[in-house]
Chains A and B, each alone.
Chain A
């Protein structure tokens, strides 16, 4: 996390409000075991933003308000996002299980009040996951990396990858 080169690729920003729950991210009736492992991601935000799954492009950034992902523990909600190409999220805060699920899947959960406050839906955004730099509306932001324990996992790809490689959980005595 020491390099300083500017992020190059431009992505679109998808802005969501406070208290977006996991039934919003993926309604229960579209769970993979209901509709099939290959198609469930096409129902991401089906009620809240029906155009999302169709128009989202890999690398586009999801930005949300407070308490993102409250509700059900369904890991297939963030997994649908991962399948669509989501690599990072910026939110004001996360619900507990959703945060764990993101780390377990290798989606980086950034926390930033100021980025969320500055963002407008469909803005152009550039970001670099490794450096945590983000450019939005002519301003540069430096995102706080996740805690060391989670970073160790994310650097191997996910907690699962870390466990596979090391046979235990990261960095805890």
Chain B
């Protein structure tokens, strides 16, 4: 069995095969401020309450704090509902939903988690089957404790070796998406195996980055086979491994030791390039944060570049920690001080301007280097603003230089 089959079999109660439609028991259902009003509407339409309130979380991250009165009213409605039903509620500033569920221990190896956010694949970083769905599906999961799924085929991606200094999990993830294409894993699970030093080089944070970006190849889930740091942090069930008999629709091998820094150019995430193709292009705005790259490891990587440096005149830089824990740790380590001294500013933990709603959207014609996961047309503001996706190190260098750096500057 594949990892996806192993997890779904446990949650269906019998062995399952790819292609089957099954109803599976859900360990946790997650929703967010931007979606919760519709979830409540659907539950009211069903006349249903949360079946297992302790297995439901509501996280305020997408437009948090509220940017206008409409949002404030919607958030109040969600707060009232959370209080009434007794579900887990995480207020403005606690962080991005996926990071919060990982920090709270909800995401754990072998769990099945559904979330009303497409990047729910992130839970695969710790070996869970995480998948994104719409408001109606999440409402049904909250009402019933179950969901319907087509058991996915799996694509196997193996990363070998250790990346050279300056090259990170984000570069590896972009390389993977570029090679698979934006629909290369549609309806499938991407199962990621780390070998030959990669299992030690990539800890939990880096694995979450890989699982997060699997979504951008259309994946239903991105599951990193537990190894390395995951074995220290969690109890991994015996049944959670890919069997010798596992069948994959496609196998992809990526040699980390030969990997160069990557960026995704507008307006698609699979439009992956070497830095040289865009090096020298002027940059107006640099954003470090999100469920992809807003963890302490990412902030440290940015601070390392910015230490003793200044953000270039004409360029602005925003750092949004992925959670309140990340913010506190960055403060304790002096990372925040380094960032602020260099001229960057800090935003409330959450999604920040990732989807172009608040906290620093881009003007017409502006060029953005972001550590997020999407660069679609209009994603971060004006329809013709250009968003380049890159690693925290590349983004921080872009801030210091005021332009997209070349490969030599990022990974000398």
Contact = CB atoms under 8 A, between A and B. Distances in A.
A104 B37 contact: no
Interface stretch (B237-245, B274-282, B354-362): B354-362
A93 B379 CA distance: 23
Contacts of B47: 164
B377 interface: yes
Given A23-B379, A70-B182, A163-B140, A31 B34 contact: yes
Contacts, number: 138
Interface string B67-97: 1101100100000000000000000000000
Interface in B10-68: 21-23, 33-35, 37-38, 42, 45-47, 63, 67-68
Contacts of A29: 355-357, 361, 381
Contacts of B268: 19
A33 B183 contact: no
Contacts of A101: 134, 136-137
A32 B38 CA distance: 9
Interface of A: 19, 21, 23-24, 27-29, 31-37, 46-48, 66-67, 70-76, 79, 93, 95-97, 100-101, 104-105, 147, 149, 158-160, 163-164, 168-169, 172
A96 B220 contact: yes
Interface string B133-162: 111110110011010100000000000000
Interface of B: 21-23, 33-35, 37-38, 42, 45-47, 63, 67-68, 70-71, 74, 116-118, 120, 132-137, 139-140, 143-144, 146, 148, 182-183, 186-187, 218, 220, 268, 355-357, 361, 374, 376-379, 381, 383
Contacts of B67: 34
Contact of B74 (A33, A100, A168): A33
Nearest to A169: B148
A21 B218 contact: no
Nearest to B72: A33
B374 A34 contact: no
Given A27-B378, A104-B136, A160-B136, A73 B70 contact: no
Contacts of B143: 163
B378 A23 contact: yes
Given A23-B376, A160-B45, A164-B45, 12 more contacts: A19-B183, A27-B378, A28-B379, A34-B67, A70-B182, A72-B117, A93-B186, A96-B220, A97-B133, A100-B133, A100-B137, A104-B136
Contacts of A76: 38, 135
4 nearest A-B pairs in the assembled complex, by CB-CB distance: A75-B134, A28-B355, A104-B136, A67-B183
B135 A47 contact: no
